[in-house]
Amino acid sequence: MCGIVAYIGRKPAKHLLLEGLKRLEYRGYDSAGIAILGTTLKVVRTVGRVRALEDQIEKQGEIDGTLGMAHTRWATHGGVTEKNAHPHLDDGKLGHGIALVHNGIIENYAVLKRYLEDKGHVFKSETDTEVLAHLIGELYRGDLERAVQGALREVTGAYAIAVICAKEPDTLVVARKGSPLMVGVGKDEYIVASDSSAIVAHTTQAFTLADYTVAKLTRESFRTTTVDNVPVDAQVKELEFDLEQIDLGTFEHYMLKEIFEQPRSLRVCMQGRIDDRAGQVVLGGVSEFARRLATARRIVFVGQGTALHACMVGTYLMEEMAKIPSDWDFASEFRYRNPIVEEGTVVVAVSQSGETADTLSALMEAKQRGALALGIVNVVGSSIARETDAGVYLRVGPEIGVASTKAFVGQVMVAAMLSLFVGRRRFLSSEFTLAYLKQLKSVPDCIDRVLEQSDHIRSVTAKYIHRENWLFLGRGVNYPVALEGALKLKEISYIHAEGMPAAEMKHGPIALIDHGMPAVFVATRNSQYEKVLSNIQEVRSRGGHVIAVATEGDDHVRSLCEDVFYVPDLPEHLQPLVTVVPLQVLAYHAALMRGKDVDKPRNLAKSVTVE
């Protein structure tokens, strides 16, 4: 959802900004732009990816300077055009040479635009952002920091911004509210970015800008203030991030790398959290609230996209292990339906990025209504992580592929550990917990066994790749896996796919089944196995082709279906951790076979920071 990077220092800014932008491209990639202040302010913008921006810079001649900013866009206000690409300027006869990049939404832009037009400002784009550039220009009286503070006092909405002014070649001003922004602190230089991936190559010292905070950066020093110019502290910390984690290595795509990383990621996720002797789960992040969790009356998991599917699995796990009534909801729906939050309600926000606007708003709403707010988040220090009362980090490492994979298994793994943590404090015996933990620890090896079938999954995918409509069906805890399988396929290969509970098929969707239509069933051995087999027969007898995800050694399923992906046997509630894996691999191969950009599917962004 837009990535921004800015630099002030002594090195040429161009290369540094473009490299940073490539790291942030997963956040949005419909257009890109750069502004560098050298002897003059130069701006280059283009529709398309960062590579297109590089070509454009080449065409327009060199842009030198040691102060600058760049942006990669995911359009919200205004179409995908060059004039809507950032940076935006306060140019025109009233201009001061102000350039600005922005991630977020200025909600009151229309009213501000009218005010500024009355004052003679002429707008060139359809974006909300350009209004902010002009407003800063309007308030500029020779001090960029003061002008930015003044403008931000007038705007409502969310922003992470970087601003430069041709009249102040030694100043970079950045600010945030709601959208992420981090400041890397080097020697005589600062690199500011939407996330640490664009910073770590240069420095491991950084601070996260708090909401409503403005930072003025010069080459020698910085200061942070509120929008009312009251000084605030910024705590510079060591980034826990290693460049190797964001390198592709020998893999062709991040998605494939992240799928294959899942066993290792889950081992790290579990590390130090399983106490074999006591038959207990150790979750430092929530231990302070153990009592409130154990006496909770209701647990609501909220998230969006893949995280929502993990929320669904979470409810099955929590009800099974802790016997606490649990629900899930789209964060976006929960937030706006006047939710009833009674005493003893715990809301768990699940999010890879920790920045999804809908999830963050749902969490704030729940907190305001008195819920205990927990987070299951991957990105350390992200907005959701900071707003929760307590939480558990996934520790699966940075996820770059837009289609979420390793974060999903991490979220389910954390939900399983959290459920055992709570259940053990209620009634689970140490023997039961120990036995379960043993199974949990076997999951990475189980996933490795599934991944060994990657070639087989590819050849099965090839058989059906020309099909435009697919069904994904599962029951119980594997129903969210069916949803996730369908989501993975549609989001990266653009094939229409629907996921649903296998029994629901009879109530309408069965009408879709025609000769050769692929129907993917999660048909592992569990309490619903026989019922799923009946649903398979219903599809077969109408000419559909069934691909089953089945338990290793289940020859019966093989005799009923066209194709089978086997997964190792696990207790029912842990099965999503392995049944999802062949569906991720299938989606990956389908997208490749259709020639799609696996890591940057059209219209999507990794982190959606608008509601």
Residues in contact with ligand G6P by the rule CB under 6 A: 303-307, 351-353, 356, 359, 402, 404, 604, 606-608
Cβ distance to ligand G6P smaller for residue 383 or 461: 383
CB of 481 to ligand G6P, least distance (A): 15
Cβ distance to ligand G6P smaller for residue 465 or 604: 604
CB of 331 to ligand G6P, least distance (A): 8
CB of 191 to ligand G6P, least distance (A): 23
Which residues have a Cβ under 8 Å from the Cβ of 463 and sit 6 or more positions away?
562, 563
Taking the C-alpha atoms of residue 414 and residue 580, their distance in angstroms, rounded to an integer, is: 16
Cβ distance to ligand G6P smaller for residue 194 or 204: 194
* Residue 171, CA distances (Å) to 145, 164, 217 in order: 9, 7, 6
Taking the C-alpha atoms of residue 533 and residue 556, their distance in angstroms, rounded to an integer, is: 10
Taking the C-alpha atoms of residue 85 and residue 75, their distance in angstroms, rounded to an integer, is: 9
Cβ distance to ligand G6P smaller for residue 403 or 513: 403
CB of 361 to ligand G6P, least distance (A): 12
Cβ distance to ligand G6P smaller for residue 191 or 407: 407
How remote is the C-alpha of 366 from its chain's centroid? Answer: 21
Provide the 10 A C-beta neighbour count for residue 323. Answer: 14
Cβ distance to ligand G6P smaller for residue 74 or 140: 74
Taking the C-alpha atoms of residue 272 and residue 270, their distance in angstroms, rounded to an integer, is: 6
Cβ distance to ligand G6P smaller for residue 31 or 404: 404
| Nearest in space to 450 (alpha carbons), one of 601, 259, 609 | 259
Cβ distance to ligand G6P smaller for residue 103 or 356: 356
CB of 456 to ligand G6P, least distance (A): 26
Is 540 within 8 Å of 560 (Cβ atoms)? Answer: yes
Is 535 within 8 Å of 505 (Cβ atoms)? Answer: yes
The dihedral built from the CA positions of residue 397, 403, 405 and 411, taken in this order, carries a sign that is: positive
How remote is the C-alpha of 509 from its chain's centroid? Answer: 31
Strand residues in 166-290 grouped as ranges (E): 172-177, 182-186, 189-193, 205-208, 213-217, 222-226, 237-238, 274-275, 280-281
Beta strand 372-377 with 518-522: parallel, antiparallel or unpaired? unpaired
Catalytic residue among 22, 113, 257, 606: 606
Phi-psi region of 370 (alpha: psi -120 to 50; beta: other; left: phi over 0): left
CB of 358 to ligand G6P, least distance (A): 8
**Is 606 tagged catalytic?**
yes
Beta strand 274-275 with 280-281: parallel, antiparallel or unpaired? antiparallel
Q: Which residue is nearest to ligand G6P (CB)?
A: 305
CB of 433 to ligand G6P, least distance (A): 28
Structure-block tokens of residue 150: 């003044």
**Helix/strand number for the chain, H first, E second:** 19, 26
Catalytic residue among 2, 165, 311, 446: 2
Q: Where are the alpha helices (DSSP H) in 369-505?
A: 383-387, 406-426, 430-451, 454-464, 479-493
Cβ distance to ligand G6P smaller for residue 1 or 549: 1
| Nearest in space to 562 (alpha carbons), one of 501, 508, 524, 519 | 519
CB of 319 to ligand G6P, least distance (A): 22
Coil, strand or helix: which one is 86? coil
**Which residues does residue 163 pair with via DSSP β-bridges, in sequence order?**
100, 173
CB of 359 to ligand G6P, least distance (A): 5
Residues forming the active site: 2, 606
